[in-house]
Structure 1
Amino acid sequence: MTTREDELAVLARGLDQAAGIVDTVDESDLARSTPCADWTVSALVDHLVVAPERFAQMVRGEEVDWSGPAPSRGDHRGEELRRGAADLMEAWQGVGSNDTPMGPDWQSAEVAIHTYDLVAALGRPTDGLDQEVADRGLAFMRANLKPEMREPAFGAEHTAPEDADAYERIAAFAGRAVAAG
Protein backbone atom coordinates (compact mmCIF):
# COMPACT_ATOMS: atom_id res chain seq x y z
CA MET A 1 0.00 0.00 0.00
CA THR A 2 1.27 3.44 -0.85
CA THR A 3 0.97 6.55 1.23
CA ARG A 4 0.26 10.14 0.30
CA GLU A 5 3.99 10.80 0.80
CA ASP A 6 4.80 8.07 -1.75
CA GLU A 7 2.39 9.63 -4.25
CA LEU A 8 3.83 13.10 -3.65
CA ALA A 9 7.40 11.87 -4.10
CA VAL A 10 6.50 10.39 -7.49
CA LEU A 11 4.62 13.53 -8.51
CA ALA A 12 7.57 15.71 -7.50
CA ARG A 13 9.94 13.59 -9.59
CA GLY A 14 7.56 13.79 -12.55
CA LEU A 15 7.31 17.57 -12.31
CA ASP A 16 11.08 17.93 -11.97
CA GLN A 17 11.60 15.66 -14.96
CA ALA A 18 9.09 17.66 -17.03
CA ALA A 19 10.81 20.91 -16.08
CA GLY A 20 14.14 19.47 -17.19
CA ILE A 21 12.69 18.58 -20.58
CA VAL A 22 11.00 21.98 -20.88
CA ASP A 23 14.44 23.54 -20.23
CA THR A 24 15.69 21.88 -23.43
CA VAL A 25 12.98 23.28 -25.69
CA ASP A 26 14.29 26.07 -27.88
CA GLU A 27 12.61 28.57 -30.18
CA SER A 28 12.97 26.30 -33.20
CA ASP A 29 10.90 23.61 -31.43
CA LEU A 30 7.91 25.77 -30.51
CA ALA A 31 6.00 25.44 -33.79
CA ARG A 32 6.30 21.63 -33.93
CA SER A 33 3.11 19.59 -33.80
CA THR A 34 2.44 17.27 -30.86
CA PRO A 35 0.35 14.17 -30.21
CA CYS A 36 -2.18 16.55 -28.60
CA ALA A 37 -4.63 17.46 -31.34
CA ASP A 38 -4.36 21.13 -32.32
CA TRP A 39 -1.46 21.86 -29.94
CA THR A 40 1.99 22.96 -30.92
CA VAL A 41 4.99 22.43 -28.66
CA SER A 42 4.52 26.04 -27.54
CA ALA A 43 0.92 25.44 -26.41
CA LEU A 44 1.85 22.12 -24.80
CA VAL A 45 4.73 23.66 -22.85
CA ASP A 46 2.53 26.53 -21.70
CA HIS A 47 -0.06 23.98 -20.52
CA LEU A 48 2.59 21.94 -18.69
CA VAL A 49 3.91 25.08 -17.02
CA VAL A 50 0.53 26.32 -15.80
CA ALA A 51 -0.79 22.90 -14.73
CA PRO A 52 0.96 22.77 -11.31
CA GLU A 53 -0.31 26.27 -10.49
CA ARG A 54 -3.86 25.23 -11.33
CA PHE A 55 -3.48 21.94 -9.48
CA ALA A 56 -2.34 23.87 -6.40
CA GLN A 57 -5.43 26.07 -6.64
CA MET A 58 -7.62 22.97 -6.83
CA VAL A 59 -5.90 21.34 -3.86
CA ARG A 60 -6.54 24.52 -1.86
CA GLY A 61 -10.22 24.39 -2.87
CA GLU A 62 -10.06 27.38 -5.18
CA GLU A 63 -12.03 27.66 -8.42
CA VAL A 64 -9.97 26.90 -11.55
CA ASP A 65 -10.84 27.58 -15.18
CA TRP A 66 -9.25 24.95 -17.45
CA SER A 67 -11.33 25.95 -20.48
CA GLY A 68 -9.08 28.56 -22.02
CA PRO A 69 -5.59 28.25 -23.41
CA ALA A 70 -2.72 28.52 -20.96
CA PRO A 71 -1.01 31.90 -20.98
CA SER A 72 2.38 32.03 -22.66
CA ARG A 73 5.22 31.88 -20.14
CA GLY A 74 8.06 33.29 -22.22
CA ASP A 75 11.66 32.19 -22.06
CA HIS A 76 11.86 30.91 -18.47
CA ARG A 77 9.36 28.08 -18.78
CA GLY A 78 11.35 25.50 -16.82
CA GLU A 79 11.80 27.93 -13.92
CA GLU A 80 8.09 28.78 -13.99
CA LEU A 81 7.19 25.09 -13.95
CA ARG A 82 9.47 24.52 -10.96
CA ARG A 83 7.87 27.46 -9.10
CA GLY A 84 4.42 26.05 -9.77
CA ALA A 85 5.58 22.59 -8.69
CA ALA A 86 6.90 23.99 -5.40
CA ASP A 87 3.57 25.75 -4.83
CA LEU A 88 1.71 22.51 -5.56
CA MET A 89 3.85 20.50 -3.15
CA GLU A 90 3.25 23.14 -0.49
CA ALA A 91 -0.50 23.05 -1.16
CA TRP A 92 -0.52 19.27 -0.72
CA GLN A 93 1.25 19.61 2.63
CA GLY A 94 -1.59 21.84 3.78
CA VAL A 95 -4.40 19.31 3.30
CA GLY A 96 -5.36 16.17 5.13
CA SER A 97 -5.48 12.81 3.40
CA ASN A 98 -9.28 12.94 3.17
CA ASP A 99 -9.60 16.64 2.26
CA THR A 100 -9.40 16.21 -1.53
CA PRO A 101 -11.49 14.00 -3.79
CA MET A 102 -8.40 12.53 -5.49
CA GLY A 103 -4.80 12.07 -4.48
CA PRO A 104 -1.66 13.19 -6.30
CA ASP A 105 -1.62 10.23 -8.69
CA TRP A 106 -4.18 11.93 -10.93
CA GLN A 107 -1.73 14.83 -11.30
CA SER A 108 1.06 12.37 -12.06
CA ALA A 109 -1.15 11.05 -14.86
CA GLU A 110 -1.50 14.51 -16.39
CA VAL A 111 2.23 15.19 -16.10
CA ALA A 112 3.14 11.78 -17.55
CA ILE A 113 0.83 12.10 -20.55
CA HIS A 114 2.11 15.54 -21.43
CA THR A 115 5.72 14.54 -20.80
CA TYR A 116 5.15 11.80 -23.35
CA ASP A 117 3.58 14.32 -25.73
CA LEU A 118 6.55 16.65 -25.38
CA VAL A 119 9.29 14.07 -25.87
CA ALA A 120 7.38 12.57 -28.81
CA ALA A 121 7.08 16.01 -30.42
CA LEU A 122 10.80 16.56 -29.89
CA GLY A 123 11.61 13.15 -31.38
CA ARG A 124 13.13 11.78 -28.19
CA PRO A 125 12.77 8.34 -26.61
CA THR A 126 10.79 7.65 -23.46
CA ASP A 127 12.90 4.80 -22.13
CA GLY A 128 15.10 7.10 -20.02
CA LEU A 129 12.14 8.70 -18.23
CA ASP A 130 11.07 7.89 -14.67
CA GLN A 131 8.71 5.01 -15.44
CA GLU A 132 7.06 5.05 -12.02
CA VAL A 133 5.47 8.43 -12.79
CA ALA A 134 3.66 6.98 -15.81
CA ASP A 135 2.94 3.65 -14.08
CA ARG A 136 1.18 5.39 -11.18
CA GLY A 137 -0.62 7.76 -13.52
CA LEU A 138 -1.82 4.91 -15.71
CA ALA A 139 -3.04 2.90 -12.72
CA PHE A 140 -5.03 5.94 -11.59
CA MET A 141 -6.49 6.48 -15.06
CA ARG A 142 -7.45 2.83 -15.53
CA ALA A 143 -9.28 2.90 -12.19
CA ASN A 144 -11.01 6.24 -12.69
CA LEU A 145 -11.38 7.23 -16.36
CA LYS A 146 -14.61 5.71 -17.58
CA PRO A 147 -15.37 5.66 -21.33
CA GLU A 148 -18.15 8.24 -20.99
CA MET A 149 -15.70 10.66 -19.30
CA ARG A 150 -13.05 10.64 -22.06
CA GLU A 151 -14.31 13.50 -24.20
CA PRO A 152 -13.10 16.16 -24.79
CA ALA A 153 -9.76 15.74 -22.99
CA PHE A 154 -9.00 12.19 -24.12
CA GLY A 155 -9.69 10.18 -27.23
CA ALA A 156 -10.56 6.53 -27.43
CA GLU A 157 -7.95 4.19 -26.03
CA HIS A 158 -5.41 2.96 -28.58
CA THR A 159 -3.56 -0.32 -28.39
CA ALA A 160 -0.02 0.17 -27.15
CA PRO A 161 2.78 -1.73 -28.87
CA GLU A 162 3.64 -5.02 -27.20
CA ASP A 163 7.03 -3.70 -26.02
CA ALA A 164 5.67 -0.32 -24.87
CA ASP A 165 7.09 1.29 -21.76
CA ALA A 166 4.92 3.01 -19.15
CA TYR A 167 4.88 6.36 -21.00
CA GLU A 168 3.82 4.75 -24.24
CA ARG A 169 1.12 2.74 -22.43
CA ILE A 170 -0.35 5.80 -20.68
CA ALA A 171 -0.25 7.76 -23.94
CA ALA A 172 -2.11 4.99 -25.77
CA PHE A 173 -4.65 4.77 -22.94
CA ALA A 174 -5.16 8.53 -23.24
CA GLY A 175 -5.93 8.21 -26.94
CA ARG A 176 -2.54 8.83 -28.53
CA ALA A 177 -1.40 6.70 -31.46
CA VAL A 178 1.88 5.19 -30.28
CA ALA A 179 4.20 3.59 -32.83
CA ALA A 180 6.23 0.48 -32.09
CA GLY A 181 9.88 1.07 -31.31
Structure 2
Amino acid sequence: MDSPHQPVVVLSRALDQAGDALAAVRAEDLDKPTPCHGWTVRELADHLAAAPEHFLQMARGEEVDWTAGTGVEPSALTAHFRAHADDLIHHWHGQSDEQAAQADWQSAELGVHTWDLLRATGRTLPLDEEVAERGLAFMQQGLTDENRGGAFGPAVSVPDDASAYDRLVAFAGRDPRA
Protein backbone atom coordinates (compact mmCIF):
# COMPACT_ATOMS: atom_id res chain seq x y z
CA MET A 1 0.00 0.00 0.00
CA ASP A 2 1.25 3.46 -0.93
CA SER A 3 1.75 6.04 1.74
CA PRO A 4 0.42 9.53 0.97
CA HIS A 5 4.00 10.69 0.49
CA GLN A 6 4.94 7.77 -1.80
CA PRO A 7 5.26 10.13 -4.79
CA VAL A 8 8.00 11.98 -2.88
CA VAL A 9 9.76 8.72 -1.99
CA VAL A 10 9.71 7.73 -5.65
CA LEU A 11 10.84 11.20 -6.73
CA SER A 12 13.83 10.85 -4.41
CA ARG A 13 14.80 7.63 -6.20
CA ALA A 14 14.25 9.32 -9.60
CA LEU A 15 16.61 12.09 -8.53
CA ASP A 16 19.21 9.58 -7.32
CA GLN A 17 19.24 7.65 -10.57
CA ALA A 18 19.28 10.85 -12.68
CA GLY A 19 22.28 12.05 -10.68
CA ASP A 20 24.00 8.73 -11.28
CA ALA A 21 23.29 8.99 -15.02
CA LEU A 22 24.73 12.51 -15.09
CA ALA A 23 27.82 11.32 -13.22
CA ALA A 24 28.33 8.63 -15.87
CA VAL A 25 28.62 11.18 -18.72
CA ARG A 26 32.15 11.54 -20.05
CA ALA A 27 33.67 14.36 -22.12
CA GLU A 28 33.72 12.11 -25.19
CA ASP A 29 29.92 11.68 -24.89
CA LEU A 30 29.00 15.36 -25.04
CA ASP A 31 28.50 15.69 -28.79
CA LYS A 32 26.61 12.41 -29.25
CA PRO A 33 22.98 12.55 -30.39
CA THR A 34 20.20 11.58 -27.99
CA PRO A 35 16.67 10.18 -28.29
CA CYS A 36 15.52 13.78 -27.64
CA HIS A 37 15.24 14.86 -31.26
CA GLY A 38 17.87 17.46 -32.12
CA TRP A 39 19.60 17.41 -28.72
CA THR A 40 23.15 16.34 -28.00
CA VAL A 41 24.22 14.70 -24.75
CA ARG A 42 25.64 18.09 -23.71
CA GLU A 43 22.24 19.78 -24.16
CA LEU A 44 20.26 16.96 -22.58
CA ALA A 45 22.62 16.69 -19.59
CA ASP A 46 22.34 20.44 -19.02
CA HIS A 47 18.53 20.29 -19.29
CA LEU A 48 18.38 17.37 -16.86
CA ALA A 49 20.78 19.06 -14.43
CA ALA A 50 18.60 22.20 -14.47
CA ALA A 51 15.36 20.30 -13.79
CA PRO A 52 15.37 20.33 -9.95
CA GLU A 53 16.12 24.05 -9.92
CA HIS A 54 13.30 24.68 -12.40
CA PHE A 55 10.90 22.52 -10.37
CA LEU A 56 11.72 24.60 -7.29
CA GLN A 57 11.21 27.87 -9.14
CA MET A 58 7.81 26.66 -10.24
CA ALA A 59 6.92 25.57 -6.70
CA ARG A 60 7.78 29.06 -5.44
CA GLY A 61 5.45 30.56 -8.03
CA GLU A 62 8.28 32.03 -10.08
CA GLU A 63 8.23 32.17 -13.84
CA VAL A 64 10.32 29.33 -15.24
CA ASP A 65 12.27 29.42 -18.48
CA TRP A 66 12.29 25.70 -19.28
CA THR A 67 14.77 26.32 -22.08
CA ALA A 68 17.35 27.85 -19.72
CA GLY A 69 20.26 25.66 -18.78
CA THR A 70 22.36 25.59 -15.66
CA GLY A 71 25.05 28.00 -16.78
CA VAL A 72 27.74 25.65 -15.47
CA GLU A 73 30.43 23.68 -17.27
CA PRO A 74 29.64 20.04 -18.13
CA SER A 75 32.07 18.85 -15.44
CA ALA A 76 29.96 20.63 -12.78
CA LEU A 77 26.53 19.39 -13.90
CA THR A 78 26.30 16.52 -11.44
CA ALA A 79 27.15 18.70 -8.42
CA HIS A 80 24.70 21.37 -9.59
CA PHE A 81 21.99 18.76 -10.04
CA ARG A 82 22.55 17.06 -6.68
CA ALA A 83 22.54 20.34 -4.72
CA HIS A 84 19.21 21.39 -6.22
CA ALA A 85 17.83 17.84 -5.95
CA ASP A 86 18.40 17.94 -2.19
CA ASP A 87 16.58 21.28 -2.01
CA LEU A 88 13.71 19.87 -4.06
CA ILE A 89 13.24 16.87 -1.78
CA HIS A 90 13.28 19.14 1.28
CA HIS A 91 10.59 21.23 -0.39
CA TRP A 92 8.40 18.21 -1.06
CA HIS A 93 8.74 16.87 2.47
CA GLY A 94 7.22 20.12 3.70
CA GLN A 95 4.11 19.74 1.55
CA SER A 96 0.72 18.30 2.43
CA ASP A 97 -0.20 14.77 1.40
CA GLU A 98 -2.51 16.16 -1.26
CA GLN A 99 0.23 18.33 -2.76
CA ALA A 100 2.78 15.50 -2.58
CA ALA A 101 0.78 13.55 -5.16
CA GLN A 102 1.91 16.13 -7.72
CA ALA A 103 5.53 14.93 -7.48
CA ASP A 104 4.77 12.16 -9.99
CA TRP A 105 5.05 14.52 -12.95
CA GLN A 106 8.61 15.33 -11.90
CA SER A 107 9.39 11.62 -11.71
CA ALA A 108 8.03 11.28 -15.26
CA GLU A 109 10.31 14.05 -16.57
CA LEU A 110 13.34 12.70 -14.74
CA GLY A 111 12.62 9.10 -15.69
CA VAL A 112 12.33 9.82 -19.41
CA HIS A 113 15.44 11.99 -19.54
CA THR A 114 17.49 9.59 -17.42
CA TRP A 115 16.64 6.84 -19.90
CA ASP A 116 17.45 9.20 -22.80
CA LEU A 117 20.85 10.03 -21.33
CA LEU A 118 21.76 6.42 -20.65
CA ARG A 119 20.66 5.35 -24.11
CA ALA A 120 22.68 8.14 -25.74
CA THR A 121 25.86 7.35 -23.81
CA GLY A 122 25.53 3.58 -24.02
CA ARG A 123 25.77 3.29 -20.24
CA THR A 124 23.64 0.97 -18.16
CA LEU A 125 22.51 1.63 -14.63
CA PRO A 126 19.76 -0.06 -12.68
CA LEU A 127 16.56 1.93 -13.18
CA ASP A 128 13.78 1.95 -10.61
CA GLU A 129 10.64 0.47 -12.18
CA GLU A 130 8.35 2.37 -9.80
CA VAL A 131 9.74 5.66 -11.13
CA ALA A 132 8.67 4.59 -14.63
CA GLU A 133 5.32 3.18 -13.49
CA ARG A 134 4.31 6.32 -11.58
CA GLY A 135 5.67 8.58 -14.29
CA LEU A 136 3.75 6.72 -16.98
CA ALA A 137 0.53 6.77 -14.96
CA PHE A 138 0.88 10.53 -14.57
CA MET A 139 1.61 11.10 -18.26
CA GLN A 140 -1.32 8.94 -19.33
CA GLN A 141 -3.67 11.15 -17.32
CA GLY A 142 -2.94 14.30 -19.26
CA LEU A 143 -0.75 13.81 -22.33
CA THR A 144 -2.90 13.44 -25.44
CA ASP A 145 -2.18 13.45 -29.15
CA GLU A 146 -3.40 17.05 -29.23
CA ASN A 147 -1.12 18.47 -26.51
CA ARG A 148 2.18 16.69 -27.15
CA GLY A 149 3.73 19.82 -28.66
CA GLY A 150 7.37 19.65 -29.67
CA ALA A 151 8.54 17.86 -26.53
CA PHE A 152 6.83 14.54 -27.18
CA GLY A 153 6.51 12.58 -30.38
CA PRO A 154 3.60 10.27 -31.08
CA ALA A 155 3.41 7.29 -28.74
CA VAL A 156 5.33 4.26 -29.97
CA SER A 157 3.69 0.84 -29.79
CA VAL A 158 5.40 -1.68 -27.49
CA PRO A 159 4.36 -5.19 -26.44
CA ASP A 160 2.04 -5.52 -23.45
CA ASP A 161 4.81 -7.25 -21.50
CA ALA A 162 7.36 -4.46 -22.12
CA SER A 163 9.23 -3.16 -19.09
CA ALA A 164 7.89 -0.14 -17.26
CA TYR A 165 10.70 2.00 -18.70
CA ASP A 166 10.03 0.83 -22.24
CA ARG A 167 6.34 1.70 -21.78
CA LEU A 168 7.20 5.12 -20.28
CA VAL A 169 9.60 6.19 -23.01
CA ALA A 170 7.39 4.74 -25.75
CA PHE A 171 4.48 6.80 -24.45
CA ALA A 172 6.79 9.83 -24.51
CA GLY A 173 7.51 9.17 -28.20
CA ARG A 174 10.81 7.30 -28.00
CA ASP A 175 11.35 3.88 -29.56
CA PRO A 176 12.96 1.69 -26.90
CA ARG A 177 13.96 -0.83 -29.60
CA ALA A 178 15.93 1.73 -31.64
Same fold (TM over 0.5): yes
Matches of 2:9 and 2:99, distance apart in 1: 19
CA deviation vs aligned residue, 1:73-119 (integer Å, no higher than 9, x gap):
3212211111111111122234334558x700000000000011011
Who is 2:170 aligned against? Answer: 172
Cα distance, 1:163–1:119 mapped onto 2, change above 3 Å: farther
Q: Kindly, what percent of the aligned residue pairs are identical?
A: 46
Who is 2:157 aligned against? Answer: 159
Answer whether contact 1:116 1:168 (CA < 8 A) is retained.
no
Who is 2:105 aligned against? Answer: 106
Answer whether contact 1:33 1:121 (CA < 8 A) is retained.
yes
Asked whether 1:38 is paired with 2:16, we answer no
Asked whether 1:120 is paired with 2:119, we answer yes
Answer whether contact 1:158 1:176 (CA < 8 A) is retained.
yes
Matches of 1:129 and 1:99, distance apart in 2: 25
What is the TM-score when the length of structure 1 is the normalising length?
Answer: 0.89
Answer whether contact 1:14 1:111 (CA < 8 A) is retained.
yes
Matches of 1:95 and 1:10, distance apart in 2: 15
Matches of 1:110 and 1:132, distance apart in 2: 14
Answer whether contact 1:161 1:178 (CA < 8 A) is retained.
no
- What does 1:14-29 correspond to in 2, within 5 Å? 14-29=14-29
DSSP-derived class of the 1:104 partner: helix
Answer whether contact 2:46 2:70 (CA < 8 A) is retained.
yes
Who is 1:137 aligned against? Answer: 135
CA deviation vs aligned residue, 1:47-90 (integer Å, no higher than 9, x gap):
01000100011122222111x34244321221111111111112
Structure 1 residues not aligned, in runs of 5+:
none
Matches of 2:86 and 2:16, distance apart in 1: 10
Higher helix share: 2
DSSP-derived class of the 2:64 partner: coil
Answer whether contact 2:152 2:172 (CA < 8 A) is retained.
yes
Structure 1 residue 146: deviation in Å? 2.0
DSSP-derived class of the 2:177 partner: coil
Asked whether 1:62 is paired with 2:62, we answer yes
Answer whether contact 1:41 1:118 (CA < 8 A) is retained.
yes
What is the TM-score when the length of structure 2 is the normalising length?
Answer: 0.90
1 or 2 for the larger relative contact order (CA 8 Å, sep ≥6)? 2
Count of matched residue pairs: 177
Partner amino acid for 1:132? E
Answer whether contact 1:4 1:104 (CA < 8 A) is retained.
no
CA deviation vs aligned residue, 1:13-67 (integer Å, no higher than 9, x gap):
111111011111110011110000110001010001000100011122222111x
